[in-house]
Amino acid sequence: MNIGEVATASGVSAKMVRYYETIGLIPQARRTEAGYRVYSPADMHMLRFIRRARDFGMPMERVRQLVALWRDEHRASRDVKALALRHVTELRERITELTAMADALQELADCCQGNSRPECPILRDMADPSTAA
């Protein structure tokens, strides 16, 4: 397969495939005489795997660790699980933060009449939180 085919098959854009190669996330592809990159089905699976990891919201560094475990026949599933759970924890922390933001802003909005007059508790609170409603 060449890069366009592996991109379509894996769901990773050709641009990103080249990028992953430059940052060393995937090994350098073999080349044809003309310089075209050549991929095996195994490469395609690896890219698909990476795509899945990204879909889980993992930062590249974590993806890198996970790919290393994936390729290591002698890994301990404990290590994979620990990595996964660490990510779940981070996701839940982020969710907590966003929820706090949304709730706080929702509460302010609930206090706002939302009419044609300028008086607005949202702006008032944001300008000076000490005057909380």
Q: Interface residues with a copy of itself (CB under 8 A)? A: 45, 48-49, 52-53, 55-57, 66, 69-70, 72-78, 80-82, 84-85, 87-88, 91-92, 94-95, 98-99, 101-102, 104-106, 108-109, 112-120, 122-123, 126-129
Query: Which residue do the tokens 């991109």 mark?
Result: 7
Residue 116: other Cβ atoms inside 10 A: 5
Closest approach of Cβ 19 to a copy of itself, in Å? 20
Q: Are 48 and 10 in contact (CB under 8 A)?
A: yes
Q: Are 120 and 128 in contact (CB under 8 A)?
A: no
Q: Is 99 in the site for DNA (CB under 7 A)?
A: no
Q: Which residue's CB is nearer to a copy of itself, number 31 or number 102? A: 102
At 20 the three-state DSSP class reads helix
Closest approach of Cβ 23 to DNA, in Å? 7
Q: Which residue's CB is nearer to a copy of itself, number 5 or number 97? A: 97
For the chain, the straight-line distance linking the first and the last C-alpha, in angstroms and rounded, comes to 63
